[in-house]
Structure 1
Amino acid sequence: MLTRQDLVNLLLDFIDVWIHQILYERDLYPAAIFSLKRKYDVPVHIAAHEGVASYVSEFVESLKPLVRQGNCKRIALKIIAPSNNRLLERFVFEIDSALRALDVPIDTVLDSEATCSLADVQQQLRACLLRMTATRSTLSSNPPDCTFTLTVETYSGPPQDQGRGSREDYHVDWIPSSSAQEGIEVAGEQQHRWNSLIPIKTIPMDLFKVNVFVMEAVKKGKHISR
């Protein structure tokens, strides 16, 4: 039996792989630090460097209570230009969860049987990974030495433990979401034009509906100005 708690675990596991794959595909680290593995019967690249792997793992771990409570609205990996800190790309993982609207104890809901099968979910996740790999040919190249940040938007504000990364050059931002912020940069970021929004995959998962896409800035590289 596939339970709804199993779906939460699958979601978190996939987010972990999703982050690693973006780091590899967008050349945020040297290819040599990644190991080729298989996930959902798809070749994926997972960072073997202890610092990178630990940071991603800790970030995903910090999402657990949010996903369990239906309070995780949007996760984003944002790629930043080295010269002027402008956003170049924004990879987005949206989670529309019915958990927050149910008048039933969360544990009771999560212990119940899901309406989808494991095979169906894995097929959807496999398709998402394959389409993510194809974005390399769609997006234009970024300048060398870009950095990145991970952010989380919630429906009802941050948890008490904000899950900050242990390294100073990484950080996790917990950002309360509002309807005025839909589709644009939020809380302390410059609002600027995006050249394109590329849909990757919509994944139905019982009480969850996941929407994955990437936004690309209008100008990149040496043409970007403040």
Structure 2
Amino acid sequence: MKELDYSISSSLISELLEVIVHQILYTRELYPRNAFQQKRKYNIPVQMCLHPGVCAYIHDIVEGAKPLLQTGSLKALQLVVTAPDNGRALEKFVFRLSQNSIIPADLRKVELSQLEESFRALCLKLSVSDNLLKPLPPRCSYKILLQLPMESLGSLHSKQVSDGAERAWIAAEPTDDMINVPKVVPLKDLSCELCSLQLYVEQTTDDYGHVAIAGPS
């Protein structure tokens, strides 16, 4: 049986994931707006964080996900925004994907301009998602989770990362991304020759007014 080849889609999707995470952090103001710089990607302006530690963290997450992308095993990436007082999940951006195998010889069949157009549409929708969501309380944190089949856990290994430390992937607790009675806000669905992508947000229906906000330290 011929081995499926996800090398093309894994490279393009990993690049897209990195851009998406930066955009979410900017749009939801998880870092100050002046910590970002406007750059161009997919022929549109996107916001990228300038802080070296943040950039390294996001890059390491995406690099760590590459073995899963290369085997078509990554089912979803989730960015979970948590409350400042108790760490409960307030909202969850879910990037769900299904990759199509394609061998390098078939690359000529893939219209890269159409791919860029699809990725551009997704980024543009994400940039205005703030208008569809209620404001977050100050000082929220976030965490990034990967969803994968149990049999793919062996693809994730401890590795030397950008800051020289060795980080190991750990299994998330079932409550890490749990939002009770969430409101689902669909952002974008798209399908192309390489993959099918779905981006949506689950947001708590609880009143943020009951969230305790920590004062300046």
Question: Which residue number corresponds to residue 50 of structure 2?
Answer: 48
Answer whether contact 2:35 2:51 (CA < 8 A) is retained. yes
Percent identity over the alignment is 26
Offset from partner CA, 1:34-70 (integer Å, 9 cap, x none):
1111111221110111100111111111111100101
CA distance in 1, matches of 2:177, 2:125: 29
Answer whether contact 2:6 2:100 (CA < 8 A) is retained. no
1:142 aligns with 2:136: yes
Residues 161 and 4 of structure 1: CA distance in aligned 2, closer, same or farther (over 3 Å): closer
Once the two structures are superposed, the pairs formed by residues 1-226 of structure 1 within 5 Å of their partners are: 5-99=7-101, 109-114=102-107, 115-155=109-149, 156-158=151-153, 159-162=155-158, 173-174=170-171, 187-189=174-176, 191-224=178-211
Question: Which residue number corresponds to residue 215 of structure 2?
Answer: none
Q: How many residues align?
A: 203
More moved, 16-25 vs 28-37: 28-37
Normalising by the residue count of structure 2, what TM-score does the alignment of the two structures yield? 0.83
Q: Which residue identity is paired with 2:136?
A: N
Residues 134 and 164 of structure 1: CA distance in aligned 2, closer, same or farther (over 3 Å): farther
CA distance in 2, matches of 1:49, 1:23: 12
CA RMSD of aligned residues (A): 2.7
Residues 17 and 56 of structure 1: CA distance in aligned 2, closer, same or farther (over 3 Å): same
Residue segments in structure 1 that go unaligned for 5+ positions in a row:
100-108, 176-185
Answer whether contact 1:37 1:46 (CA < 8 A) is retained. yes
CA distance in 2, matches of 1:152, 1:31: 26
CA distance in 2, matches of 1:89, 1:28: 12
How far 1:95 moved relative to its partner? 1.3
Residues 39 and 189 of structure 1: CA distance in aligned 2, closer, same or farther (over 3 Å): same
CA distance in 1, matches of 2:160, 2:208: 29
Normalising by the residue count of structure 1, what TM-score does the alignment of the two structures yield? 0.79
Offset from partner CA, 1:122-166 (integer Å, 9 cap, x none):
001111111111111111111100000000011234224156976
How far 1:192 moved relative to its partner? 3.9
CA distance in 1, matches of 2:19, 2:197: 15
Answer whether contact 1:194 1:215 (CA < 8 A) is retained. no
Q: Which residue identity is paired with 1:153?
A: Q
Q: Which residue identity is paired with 2:184?
A: L
Secondary structure of 2:87 counterpart: coil
